[in-house]
């Protein structure tokens, strides 16, 4: 398991997290959200958006929108499982 990014914003109504990537993330990857050392939840990446365009993958330095199964707070770290 390694860190791929951090949540910079979360849109409640859309259930979308904005994530600043430190690594590569692709549709189909399993990810885990961790905050303050506590495992929050795991989910599969169903879609990735950059500037409202769907992408199959994104890399270091990209800022992506990702639909989440549960609410997450800013600062939550994202790990690829």
- pLDDT tens per residue across span 6-45: 999 999 999 999 999 999 999 999 999 999 999 999 999 9
Domain ranges of the chain: 2-80
Quote the pLDDT of residue 6.
98
pLDDT at 39: 97
- To the question of domain 2-80 being in CATH 2.40.30.10, the answer is yes
**Model confidence pLDDT, tens digit, residues 56-75:** 999 999 999 999 999 999 99
Q: What was the pLDDT predicted at 26?
A: 98
Give the pLDDT confidence score for residue 16 in this predicted structure.
97
Angstrom distance (rounded) from CA 38 to CA 40: 6
What was the pLDDT predicted at 21?
Answer: 98
Question: What's the pLDDT at 81?
Answer: 96
Q: Using CB atoms within 10 A of its CB, is residue 67 exposed (0-12), middle (13-18) or buried (19+)? A: middle
């Amino acid at each position: 398991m390694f860190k791929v990014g951090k949540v910079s914003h979360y849109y409640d109504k859309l259930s979308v997290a904005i994530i600043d990537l430190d690594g590569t993330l692709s549709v189909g990857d399993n990810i885990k959200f961790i905050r303050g050392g506590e495992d929050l939840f795991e989910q599969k990446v169903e879609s990735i958006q950059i500037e409202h365009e769907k992408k199959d993958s994104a890399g270091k330095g990209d800022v992506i929108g990702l639909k989440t199964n549960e609410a997450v707070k800013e600062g939550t770290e994202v790990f690829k499982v």
